[in-house]
Amino acid sequence: MPFKVFTNGVPLPASDLNDYLMEQSIATFANSAARTAAITSPVEGQFTYLASTNALEFWDGAAWATAGGGGPTLISTTTLTGASVTLSSIPQDYKDLYFEILNYQPASTAVLNMRFNGLSTGIYMSRDYSQRINETMIETQWEITETGQANTGTNFSARGTLWDYTNTSFRRYGTGFWFGNAGTSNASVGPQAWFSSSTAAITSLTFFPTGANFTAGTVKLYGVK
């Protein structure tokens, strides 16, 4: 669609408004469903902004694509309190989920865990230092920090990515690492790999220390396209 320069005194028909002004501006929608309902035949090069994901996107002729860099988009920042924190209604518009746990401190020695979609049956497997071969999945949550770490008085942080979290053709999996220190001289660090037999798209994540409450910490959730 060619770009038109309007001049004073020339009549402005509705067709010019529709063809040039509307399709050359950035329309804002609450989410992708609202956009699909409003724009039934997008034009290549057309831009939109989605409030639900804070995403500026353009129609590339076949699909809506992210404009500019594909860096992570912050979805939520939540203080860790109580026995568990659940992040629900996670948008399904991204490819991967990335989370950060910052300055986690439990009330007593406890492992920091994660479940998705409220599932608490034996469908999880975590590995914190070496591979696991052909083992039965019996764990009821993913471990973020390692079992047996003396957590009391230790400041922990962790990072993790849950790959392809909406793709129901694959089972859920992720990778990450954790680190903690109880002072200036001692520290712990370890990798984590997570796997689940479930193929369900992740719509919620629950973080909880086993048998203890959070006393401090923050969880940040990002979407990555």
Partner 1 sequence: MSEIKIVNVSTGKETVRQMNQQELAQAELDKQNLEAKLKIKAEAKALAEAKLSSLGLTADDLKALLG
Tell me which of 82, 136, 169, 184 binds partner 1, using CB under 8 A: 82
Instruction: Kindly state the number of chain residues that form the binding site for partner 1, as judged by CB under 8 A.
Output: 30
Instruction: Please report whether residue 76 would count as binding partner 1 according to CB under 8 A.
Output: yes
Please say whether the beta carbons of 167 and 181 come within 8 A. Answer: no
Instruction: Please report whether residue 144 would count as binding partner 1 according to CB under 8 A.
Output: no
Instruction: Please report whether residue 210 would count as binding partner 1 according to CB under 8 A.
Output: yes
Stretch that binds partner 1, among 20-28, 33-41, 61-69, 211-219 (CB under 8 A): 211-219
**Token digits for 106?**
């439990």
Instruction: Please report whether residue 162 would count as binding partner 1 according to CB under 8 A.
Output: no
Using CA atoms, how far apart are residues 108 and 112, in angstroms rounded to an integer? Answer: 11
Instruction: Please report whether residue 113 would count as binding partner 1 according to CB under 8 A.
Output: yes
Q: Is 207 exposed, middle or buried (0-12, 13-18, 19+ CB in 10 A)?
A: buried
Stretch that binds partner 1, among 33-41, 107-115, 156-164, 180-188 (CB under 8 A): 107-115
Instruction: Please report whether residue 89 would count as binding partner 1 according to CB under 8 A.
Output: yes
**H/E element holding 99?**
strand 96-106
Residue type at 37 in one-letter notation = A
Rg of the chain over CA atoms, in angstroms? 23
Q: Are strands 47-50 and 55-59 parallel, antiparallel or unpaired?
A: antiparallel
CB of 195 to partner 1, least distance (A): 18
Please say whether the beta carbons of 220 and 74 come within 8 A. Answer: yes
Tell me which of 91, 160, 176, 180 binds partner 1, using CB under 8 A: 91
Tell me which of 46, 48, 50, 87 binds partner 1, using CB under 8 A: 87
Tell me which of 42, 55, 57, 90 binds partner 1, using CB under 8 A: 90
Instruction: Please report whether residue 110 would count as binding partner 1 according to CB under 8 A.
Output: yes
Q: Which is nearer to partner 1, 42 or 212 (by Cβ)?
A: 212
Instruction: Please report whether residue 147 would count as binding partner 1 according to CB under 8 A.
Output: yes
Please say whether the beta carbons of 42 and 27 come within 8 A. Answer: no
Question: Exposure pattern of 90-110 as b/e (b: 16+ CB <10 Å)?
Answer: bbebbebbbbbbbebbbeebb
DSSP at 153 = T
For residue 123, give the 3-state DSSP assignment.
coil
For partner 1, the binding residues (CB under 8 A) are 52, 75-76, 78, 81-91, 107, 110-111, 113, 120, 140-141, 147-148, 208, 210-213, 221
